[in-house]
Amino acid sequence: MLRHPTKHQLFDYAERLVDGRAAVSVKTAAHVGACNLCAAELDAMHRSLAFAAAAPDLEPSVSSNIDIMLAARGARRAVERRRNCRRSFVMLAKGLTCAAGLLLTMAVSFGAALHDGSATVHARSPKPATYQRVALAMPSPEAIQKTTAEIQTLAAAVNGQTKKPHSLWERERLRVVQALNDDIAEVRAALEQNPGCRRAALLIHGNLERQAQTLRSLYTGRDL
At 93-140, the pLDDT tens digits run 555 555 555 555 555 544 444 444 444 444 444 444 444 444 445 666
CA 58, 61, 66, 70 torsion-angle sign = negative
Query: 177 or 116: which carries more pLDDT confidence?
Result: 177
Domain that residue 126 falls in: 80-223
Instruction: Note whether 36 and 98 are same-domain residues.
Output: no
Total-model pTM? 0.41
Residue of 32 and 130 predicted with greater confidence: 32
Residue 96, domain member (yes or no): yes
In a domain, 69, yes or no: no
- Sign of CA pseudo-dihedral 82, 87, 93, 95: negative
Note whether 20 and 129 are same-domain residues.
Answer: no
165 shares a domain with 111: yes
Domain match, 123 and 203 both: yes
Residue 90 pLDDT > 50: yes
Q: Which has the higher per-residue pLDDT, 27 or 150?
A: 27
Q: What is the domain count for the chain?
A: 2
What mean pLDDT comes out for the span 199-224? Answer: 77
Instruction: Say if 66 falls within a structural domain.
Output: no
Is pLDDT at 20 greater than 70 in this prediction?
Answer: yes
What does the DSSP assignment read for 128-191? PHHHHHHHHHSPPHHHHHHHHHHHHHHHHHHHH---SSPPHHHHHHHHHHHHHHHHHHHHHHHH
Distances in Å between the Cα of 52 and the Cα atoms of 20, 41, 47 are: 15, 17, 9
At 124 the pLDDT is: 42
Would 1 be classed as within a structural domain? Answer: no
Residue 123 confidence (pLDDT): 43
pLDDT of residue 115: 44
Instruction: Name which of 83, 3, 70, 79 is nearest 37 in CA terms.
Output: 3
- Give 24-27's long-range contacts (Cβ < 8 A, gap of 24+): 27/1
Please tell me whether residues 150 and 110 are part of one structural domain: yes
